[in-house]
Structure 1
């Protein structure tokens, strides 16, 4: 069994998260500790008000809510809700929350069996529960005792088995709800982080997205960004984040931002000898005629090169990334040269009308992707998004018609002579007046 404890500022948010899972049919409230009635006989407001009433006894406690998940081995998916409830009650008593109000939810939206427990840090007398080092001390002791009492798979053995399984199985796309989330992401990271040569977070995400995984360090105003943190999250079929992000420090190889920044420096040098292969493949694909951008992408795919187009919300292309699966190298278009960036590739390809839905189904990079401002790729992305000249593919006759309707601009070869003549006339008039 693996226990994860988190604290928060809002009991509303934690409560709504679990109740929404119930409404979606992927969770059930299986017990209520220190409540007057059973959960099936209570409305949502009755459950929540029990917490809110006790929290008012000490409004000075800022991080007043507690969210705990107890995660079991995949082989333990046969547990009845009565056993899960008994484990939850035993665990809460052992960590000092036995007399607190708490709700227990059984979730079924992941590949491994697990339960969520929500509670508060304010006691009935208004005092605050000290949770300093609770995970290392009380929770760890409770976990070991419960594993022995209920015959659960030991967490240490589970970690060893997981590490072996990661090394022996090749990576595949992560399917949320069908596989154990953390283990599935770990498999992908085990392959991508060690085998591919990427030099920025966007380039790493260009590879991870093909496995339905994304690395993010938050927006500029977020706490995770200020603390240089990093999380990994599963993506759905449309490339949108789904489920709960997992901290980088929780994975066995600790793929934190500090770790990645070192990899960026190493990979920037390692991938240099392989630039020519990607450039030659692009040039060769453009030789027979002038293909459209989508046709070019198809040709490169046959050469083992995956092309990722970055576009804004309006559908304008502002970036392009090439992932060479043969050499395991990733390049932003500008890294290969000016002829291989987004704007240049549009000019080198046959103009065509492409709707936003015809592009590759990958959302544009936004703040939540967590681009580091010091990286070259981030600067390029910012320059594209802030440009007044948005990049668009020519749509045919309407473009040249609009150009003809624009006011004509005079050239320097017209303005120059007129300026000279006017100066000479002024001098001549002045000389006449002096006489």
Structure 2
């Protein structure tokens, strides 16, 4: 089992993110600790917040008092709701949060059983609860829970494998071609995006951009792509590389097929309502661009805006790493368009969004324990053995909180591969002429 611990300043956002899944019937409250009881065990975000208010009011100087933890057993583990509840209680007690108010949510929007725990890391007197050696203590508790409940252990070997996964391109580290290759040869396998602009928005998280090029070959107009490494400011840092160096998946014909496939996949995608709601919540609960992006990043959504030389916003893209989907703002909602955010961030005219209705509370597990639908073993990313951290303090560095995404391709000579491919084509033509 793997535990992910995140901290943030916005308790409302953490509760709303999880309660939204409950209201969309993609989640359930399994258990609450030191939370004010309600008639028939029904809860809303406003009701849950009341139990945390004394702690927040007493807070002395802790900048990020909100605690958001996810516990993720191996996809092959079949954990009952009752055991999830006991595991959450045990984990919080061993980590020093057993006397804190907390809510345990079970998420069912992906085919992998896991729970989220929302709490605060300050005690009743406003003092921060110690987090010294937190990572080491958390790993020890997870090993104990694996033994106690017969779970598949997350071995050290597995952790070491995850340590070698891909990170955004570092133009100063050298071997840039291989760094780019490890992204562009694999990224379309895991994300849905419908246009080259959306693809570029996703690539920007990895310090890469791509440009369309056009030329004439044997009397015919040919279209292709160039991949360009970027520095930390989003500026070109090295010369461009032809897409052909990275294989067919990185080329324009394959990407155009991917665009068409993504259009069908995203037409009625189940994640769309949740993403729209998360953006609406962020608009309602934040006051500026920085806090808006930060709150969405904490919930696994990157916001990529494109501006011209005068600072005007002409493009808005939202990248949801939970569902691995990329969305143009205006395609999600008219109020999420580039013009709307340009008016908001440059002219202080906030978009008019549909008021979020107060969620109709669901019955908690206090009143009735019901088994949720059986879930097939699955991981958020098939190539990662861990859940995306729900919170990340750096609005532009969410990929670091993912620990990177893709395995590296160091040692592969893509120029040599390209030359070999051309020679194969030449031999085929020669055989055809004979």
Q: Point out which structure has higher relative CO (alpha carbons under 8 A, 6+ apart).
A: 2
The higher radius of gyration belongs to 1
Give the alignment's TM-score, normalised by structure 1: 0.44
Give the alignment's TM-score, normalised by structure 2: 0.44
More helix by share: 1
